[in-house]
Chain A
Amino acid sequence: DAGITQSPRHKVTETGTPVTLRCHQTENHRYMYWYRQDPGHGLRLIHYSYGVKDTDKGEVSDGYSVSRSKTEDFLLTLESATSSQTSVYFCAIKGVTDTQYFGPGTRLTVL
């Protein structure tokens, strides 16, 4: 257990609405990541952060933005949700041994 929580755990929303997912960690890790999981694709990196206010895009960043105003929180925002963003979203941290540990996930459904 790497002290990672995600909220909400489940969310149903409508197309066009903004959505923010929160990842919270308690162990002061520098690196944090957001992935989405879809059948047949494994997990794909959306955005990552290497420090407070330091973020960069991953493989599938279109339609997503992130913010990290303090070490413990990494927020993922869908500015205008679309049905293609229906997915399971995982947050992860990188520990001191270059190993990533994952949160429990958020299941998002966009109708």
Chain B
Amino acid sequence: AQSVTQPDIHITVSEGASLELRCNYSYGATPYLFWYVQSPGQGLQLLLKYFSGDTLVQGIKGFEAEFKRSQSSFNLRKPSVHWSDAAEYFCAVVPNAGGTSYGKLTFGQGTILTVHP
């Protein structure tokens, strides 16, 4: 079945350490790819997105993500994590980009990030 997978349910890092959150998808064509962040009790905020072109995309709050077609992955990275980055992170996909998908998003299960001082 077509899906979006975030293999890590919970990640803990120390403040100042680097971070990589994994996302894999199982759609044949290149989808539109997104990362969202959700702080406790809040809505979802868009961090970054990939539609086409340069496979390394920059987002807000110092985050970046790299699209790797051969691995069907879109991993999120940050070189130095701040305590305020503690939140839940969601990878999301529009499977039939450019087609008649009506822009419907399919989400991964989410990764909860805990930051230790």
A contacts, CB < 8 Å to B? 31, 33, 35, 40-45, 48, 50, 56, 58, 90, 92, 94, 98-105
Contacts and interface: CB of A to CB of B under 8 A. Distances in A.
A45 B110 CA distance: 15
Interface of B: 4, 6, 9, 32, 34, 36, 42-44, 46, 49, 51, 90, 92, 94, 97, 102-110
Nearest to B6: A42
Contacts of A44: 107
B94 A98 contact: yes
A56 B101 CA distance: 12
Interface centre among B6, B34, B97, B103 (most CB of A within 10 A): B103
Given A35-B105, A42-B107, A43-B92, 18 more contacts: A31-B103, A33-B105, A41-B109, A42-B6, A43-B105, A43-B107, A45-B106, A48-B104, A50-B102, A92-B105, A98-B32, A98-B94, A98-B97, A98-B103, A99-B34, A100-B34, A101-B46, A102-B44
